[in-house]
């Protein structure tokens, strides 16, 4: 059985220009990601890992090349089309959680659902299910500053999965956590991959975190090198 292709990056180039100067981050980068994959992306600081995640999530566009998602070139979408596509398919998880400090855990998790046509009772049900899945049902009314770092990251995971996206894009999701808490977060990501079929792309500096993925690629000097995951 061949796996279903989710992303096909074809000859992606990306450069940023500052005045007259242009800095090339990648040139002619190719990558495929299948449905159900869990890919760790490693590489030195400044190698373009966050830039790559932003392009996969439709937040940034390549300078050249195609990003096919389920066969369609998302780099051609308008801002409005991209926003709809993102809301339907993508969940983002960041190193510093990016929660709204004035809102409770439940209200933070509800945010992506406000873009959808859903009744408030449907929203409440989805929020409760997402918080339950990350083990935080009893913290729904807490605000971020009343939660530990690991719990805040769990809220962020609940927010990322509440609209049932296909793909989770995680940028250093355990970068600010101690080893034991990082392990819990990585186990949650692995559960979402194995039992809920979420495709995951995770940027990490930590080889121990990368071992939770099914495969690992190194990004260096604009090129990918597939690395063995040594247990
Ligand atoms: N909006 C921008 N304008 C100009 N240059 C940018 C912009 N965003 C990123 N860059 C440059 O692109 C390169 C890659 O940045 P990126 O943030 O993707 O690296 P990274 O691999 O995620 O690094 P880190 O591990 O430190 O997070 C860097 O040299 C950065 O300065
Ligand atoms: Mg980065």
> What pLDDT does 198 receive?
97
Ligand 1 centroid to residue 52 C-alpha, Å? 10
Report the distance separating Cα 192 and Cα 213, nearest Å. Answer: 12
53 lines ligand 1 (CB under 6 A): no
Q: Whose CA is nearest to atom 30 of ligand 1?
A: 46
CATH number at residue 160: 3.40.50.300
C-alpha pair distances (Å), 40 with each of 113, 208, 209, 224: 28, 11, 8, 12
95 lines ligand 1 (CB under 6 A): no
| Contact predicate 37/211, CB 8 Å | no
| Domain count for the chain | 1
Which structural domain range is residue 62 located in?
A: 5-227
pLDDT digits (tens, 9 = 90+) for 34-46: 999 999 999 999 9
Please state whether the predicted TM-score (pTM) of the whole model is above 0.85.
yes
48 lines ligand 1 (CB under 6 A): yes
Report the distance separating Cα 5 and Cα 61, nearest Å. Answer: 20
Percent of the chain beyond pLDDT 90? 87
Q: Are strands 38-42 and 90-93 parallel, antiparallel or unpaired?
A: unpaired
């Amino acid at each position: 059985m061949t796996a279903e292709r989710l992303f096909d990056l074809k000859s992606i180039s990306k450069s940023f220009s500052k005045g007259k100067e242009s800095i090339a981050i990648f040139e002619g980068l190719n990558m495929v990601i299948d449905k159900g994959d869990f890919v760790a992306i490693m590489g030195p600081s400044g190698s373009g890992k966050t830039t790559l995640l932003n392009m996969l999530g439709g937040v940034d566009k390549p300078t050249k090349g195609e990003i096919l998602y389920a066969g369609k070139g998302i780099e051609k979408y308008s801002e409005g089309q991209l926003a709809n596509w993102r809301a339907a398919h993508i969940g983002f998880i960041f190193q510093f959680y990016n929660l709204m400090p004035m809102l409770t855990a439940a209200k933070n998790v509800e945010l992506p659902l406000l873009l959808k046509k859903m009744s408030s009772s449907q929203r409440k049900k989805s929020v409760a299910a997402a918080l339950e899945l990350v083990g935080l049902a009893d913290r729904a009314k807490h605000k971020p500053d009343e939660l530990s770092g690991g719990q805040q990251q769990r809220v962020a995971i609940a927010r990322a999965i509440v609209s049932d996206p296909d793909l989770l894009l995680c940028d250093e999701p355990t970068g600010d956590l101690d080893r034991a808490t990082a392990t819990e977060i990585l186990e949650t990501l692995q559960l979402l991959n194995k039992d809920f079929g979420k495709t995951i792309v995770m940027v990490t500096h930590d080889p121990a975190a990368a071992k939770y993925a099914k495969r690992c690629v190194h990004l260096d000097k604009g090129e990918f090198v597939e690395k063995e995951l040594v247990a």
